[in-house]
Structures are given as structure tokens and as C-alpha cells.
Amino acid sequence: MNPLLKKFDAAPFSAIKNEHFLPAITQLIEDNRAEVSAIADSTEKPTFENTIEALENTGTGLDRATSIFFNLNSAETNDEIQKIAQQVSPLLSEFQNDLLLNEKLFNRVKSVFKNRENLDLNIEQNTLLEKQYKGFSRNGANLSEEKKSQLRKIDTTLSRLSLTFGENVLAATNAYEMHLTNKEDLAGLPEGVKEAAAQAAAEKDKDGWLITLDYPSYIPFVKYAKNRTLRKELSLAFGARAFTKGKHNNEQNVLQIVTLRQQRAQLLGYKSHAHFVLEERMAKTPQTVLDFSNDLLKKAKPAAQKEFDELEAFAKELDGIDELQKWDSAYYAEKLKQQKFSLDDEKLKPYFRLENVINGVFTVAQKLFGLHFKEDPSIDKYHEDVKTYRVTDTEGELVSLFYADFHPRAGKRGGAWMTSYKPQQIKNGINERPHVSNVCNFTKPTATKPSLLTFNEVTTLFHEFGHGLHGMLANTSYKGLSGTSVHWDFVELPSQILENWCYEKETLELFATHYETGEVIPMELVNKIKESAAFHEGMQTLRQLSFGLLDMSWHDGKLPETVNNVKEFETAFFAGTQLYPETPETCMSTAFSHIFQGGYSAGYYSYKWAEVLDADAFAYFKEEGIFNKKVADKFKNFVLSQGGTQDPMELYIKFRGQKPNPDALLKRAGLL
């Protein structure tokens, strides 16, 4: 029997074959359709229990199967899985539309919604009711049949385009290799990077060294390689992903996605896709996002320009570089950082062995929230690189299963993310605990060295683990409001706040020990890490804001209908935030997976928005002590465990006692 059609708790990865996915998902769609029809066709008077709660409890099998499938499509994909995704996505999109455009079902939901004042609902029940009603109304339930049909076509096309966009970025990333056979071309590279490049070449039966566009290969090369010509080649290849002419080009996909999103929003009665998206965010309107971003931009731009001018002067003095280019940025920034702080990432890496950092983040979770992590190899996994853990509380009760997948490979997309294989919910009086996963791309161990992280990778691991804690500590009645099911400009608070612990002496002493000598990281290095935390913060802030504003400019409805050239539009837009000379060979939008494949369209500003929240929240921890139990309990009880059960600003005020103060971020970034 198909393992996806059996009842299971932990995902049965080893039993699942590619050929199981399509028949299982097709069958489970029909099962879910029958569950939904039973609710819609009921002759009983609509109540919260027989309509809203009943609907919330449908589709469990389908949710589990699709979470396994789409997570594998990100972390362990192949041509066959990608083909199945192209078949499955339209089916799911069609089913979702059938559900949301089901008039009988919507009438029952609407009946309960209109009568909500007379129902004795608690906050969570009320939130679920509102979420369900909006789920229908925001997806066309109030439209005419003709417009519903238009909406279905748009949604089916968008789901395909989004998949194709991601496949093109992955294919373009995998298609490029820089094969080096001259040892002089490796000048400046740390030994660990050379060894990893030699290993990558050997795995493909090639002599010499192989540099790729995967982050653990790409970033150290542009940061350390002395050969400016090769840095340029690699940088341009990275910037040209899915932009170079050919079958993996994403320009038309970008234009089609943007056009269809705008049409969809207007069909539903919204001015733009951004207006549609932001109705369900803390920010509420595009104007709020623009005001917030431009205010930060005004404060960051002078600092960014000053930092850039200093970097350019430094490069000229050091190597006679007349005009600083994008491929010089990381290289000279690293040199300047070393000169200013005598802080070399390569000197730090021996203190950040991956296993130690994992133990460190586990210890932080234990000290703050009373969690214990025990590796359990008996939990089924989808790749030998994955580590599996059983997470328990102080009483020994199961809190979550945790999957950790930390190394790059051909079938895995770049970047880092948190995901879930099973949501938390309280059903039939049982608190069903979640299954959470962190996926990253850190350098693999080599024959002579373990996996050693840069400090930036340490903060990435803590960041994703913060999302993981949001999933693990969920404690709500309904899966649709559980864990990270919150407004997208609130979802980054748990992840970004956890990064702050990486800069604290109390934390670093828990895990930052030299992998060869066992020596704890010297105080001198800890102080330098703290001192350098705001290094080039102006340029970093400018960069993040420019991405967020680019996202808004694609989606705020002000896009001229005449835009038919992605690069020209982007170049004109970046003119206000660009420090480096323009490179006609590269394009940001064609590989901007966050907004064209992930869920961040009209929401990329969320990173900066959440930074304000996290800076203000961590200031509270600093006032009381970074491992203060009272503050940690409040954060757990009002933020991590509550999911999307209440308005996020109300939850934040319950935790903090006040609204977030933007000055906390500017102060931390050294921009005040």
C-alpha cells in the first residue's frame, strides 16, 4: 500500500518512492473534497463546531503528504520530483479554488461569521472564524461566476510560473562551474576553502579545484580570492542566474507573475497586490511600508555613502583600484574589517565547529525555555546528512521532533529555511506535537577538517533555529493558527531575536571552543565580534531596504503597463540606492526567489520591520539579563506559543509592556 495513504506520525521517508506522490496526493485531494462536501451539504444549522471547527479539521492527510513532497522538492529534488511538482501544483491550486469558491460552504461560514456577536467564542475561536471568513472573501467567494472562473485560471498559471521560476534559479546555479587547475588562482583562499574545492572537483572526477555558485563555495571565493578577474567572473555569473539568455531565463516569468498578481488583486477589489497582501500584515498598507522604509533609508544612506567612500579609498590605497566594483565589495570589506578590528573570519572559524554550534543553540534553548534535545537515529530521514532529534521539556514530555539538514548538495536549493512536517494542534483533547525542520547550506567536513562555520553562518543557524522554536513551542488549539502561522512581518521576530545571543560573552562561552585545542574563545575575540557587529551596517541596511523597496515597486500597482524589460525597470529603480557601478550582465529580479517563488511578495520589508521588533525585544532581555527566566517565560508565553491566535501588536505589548521603539534598532546599528 502507498505509505502516504497509511496513518503515520513521523514522515516515513525510507518507504516513500517518487511514484507514490502523484497517486497519493490525487487520492487525498478526493478524500478532502468529500470531507468538505459533507460540511457544505449538511442540513444542520451552521454552528462554530459543525462548520468552522469541522472545516479546520479537514485535510490532515493531504497536508502531511504535500508538506513531505514540497519539502523534498526544496531539499532533495531531482528531475522526476520537479516534473511531479508541475503536475501536482495545478491540482492543488484547482482544489483550493474549488474549496474557496464553494458557494454552499461559504454561505455556512458567512452565516456563522454574521452571527459571531451572539456566540460565546474565546479569542482563538474568534480569530479562527475571522481567518476562515477572510480566506473565502479574499479568494473570490463574493465574486460572480465569470470572475471566479478568471480567478481559477490566474491561480493555476501563477502556481506553475512560481515553480518554473524556482527550477530555473536552481538549474542556473547548478549549471555554472569554475574549474581551476592553476594553483596561483587560489591565492588568498583559506586552506579549508581550497580543500572543499578540491573535494568538489574529485567528486566529479576532475583535477584541480571546482568553485560553484553554492553559497559555501561562492561567498569565500569573492571574499578572499586575490585574483580580481576570477572574482569578477564568479560575481557576474552569480548575478546573472536565470538572466542569461537560454532555457533557464526568468525575465518573462517575472513579468507574467507581476501582471497576474496585479490582475488577481484588482479582480478581488484591491488597488494592487501589495494592498491585498498588506491587509493581513502588521503594516496594513503600502504607504506605511514606504514611510517606514524611506525613514530608515534617510537615516542609513549618509552612513552607507560614508562607508562606501572609505572602502573605495582603502582599495585604492591598498591595490590602486580606481573604481570599486561589486566583485571588490566582500574582498576589500574583509581586508578593512581585519585592519580595523584585527578580526579575520578564518581565525574565528576554528571556534565554530558545526556540532559545537548546534550544541550551543540547544543549550541556549534549554537555559531560556527548558528544552532538551536528544539525537534519535531511529527517526526516519530523507538523506544521510540529516540529523534527527527528540525534543522534551523539563518533565520529559515530548515537545517536538526536530530535523537538521545542514550541507549543500545538487538536489537542494540554496539559502536557509525552517519548515514543518507536522503542525501542532489540540485535537480530541490530545495536544499533537509538531515536527520541525531546519535546512541550511554550510561547508561539508573534509578529509582533514570538520565543518567549520563563519560567524555569519553561526548567526544564520541561530536565526533558523529561532523559527524552529516558534514551531516547536507552539501551543494552540488549531493548526491553522499554530507556530509560524502569523503575520509575515511578525514571523521574523523569533528568528532575528535569537541572533542577538551570538554576540554575547555568556553565550559564546557555552560553545565557542577551538576544535583542535578545546580552548574557549578568547575574550579579546569576543570583544572584537561585538565591536564589529555594526561594521558596514549602513551599507547592509541600504541593501536590505533597496530589496524591500524593489519588491514593493513590482507589486504596489504603480508599475507602468509598458514595462517589458525587467533589467531596465530594475536599473532605473536601483538608481536611488545604488553605490556600485551598474553591471549590465546581471539582474536581481530574475533570481529574487523570496518574492517570486517564496511567500515574500510585497513582504520583503518584513526583515527590517522585524529587526525593529527584535532590537527592542532584546533590549528588554539586556535590561533584565539575557538568560532571565521571567523575560524568557513572557517571550515563550506571549510570542512563541501563541502563533497567530491574536493580533501580533497586542501579543508584543503583552510581552514588552509597550509598543516597539524604532530607536532601539538605530542605536544597535550605530546609525543614531
Instruction: Using pLDDT thresholds of 50, 70 and 90, give the confidence band for residue 407.
Output: very high
Q: Is a pLDDT exceeding 80 seen at residue 560?
A: no
Rounded CA gap, 352 and 521, in Å? 9
Is pLDDT of 562 > 80?
no
Mean pLDDT of the chain: 94
Closest CA to 574 of 592, 594, 597, 596: 592
Beta bridge partners of 209: 180
Q: Which residues pair with 372 in a beta bridge?
A: 392
pLDDT at residue 435, rounded to an integer: 98
- What phi, psi does 225 have (nearest 5°)? -65, 130
Q: Cβ contacts of residue 287 below 8 Å, gap of 6+?
A: none
pLDDT of residue 615 exceeding 90, the answer is yes
State the pLDDT at residue 651: 96
Q: What is the pLDDT of residues 35-82, one digit of tens each?
A: 999 999 999 999 999 999 999 999 999 999 999 999 999 999 999 999
Q: Which is nearest to 334 in space by CA: 231, 254, 210?
A: 231
The pLDDT of residue 418 is 97
338 burial level (CB within 10 Å; 0-12, 13-18, 19+) = middle
Whether 464 is catalytic is yes
Domains of the chain (ranges, CATH numbers): 3-142 (1.20.1050.40), 176-239 (no CATH), 350-537+607-668 (1.10.1370.40)
Distance CA 13, CA 7 (A): 13
Q: pLDDT tens-digit profile of 384-404? A: 999 999 999 999 999 999 999
pLDDT at 531 over 90: no
pLDDT in tens, 22-38: 999 999 999 999 999 99
Predicted pLDDT of residue 641: 98
pLDDT in tens, 627-647: 999 999 999 999 999 999 999
The enclosing H or E element of 279 equals none
The residue-averaged pLDDT of 427-445 equals 95
> What per-residue confidence (pLDDT) applies to 322?
92
pLDDT at 668: 87
- List 167, 464, 499, 504, catalytic entry: 464
Write out pLDDT tens, residues 173-202: 999 999 999 999 999 999 989 999 999 999
Q: What is the pLDDT of residue 633?
A: 98
d(CA 360, CA 592): 32
Task: Find out whether 273 and 601 touch, Cβ atoms under 8 Å.
Answer: yes
Q: What is the pLDDT of residues 323-338, one digit of tens each?
A: 999 999 999 999 999 9
Report pTM. 0.82
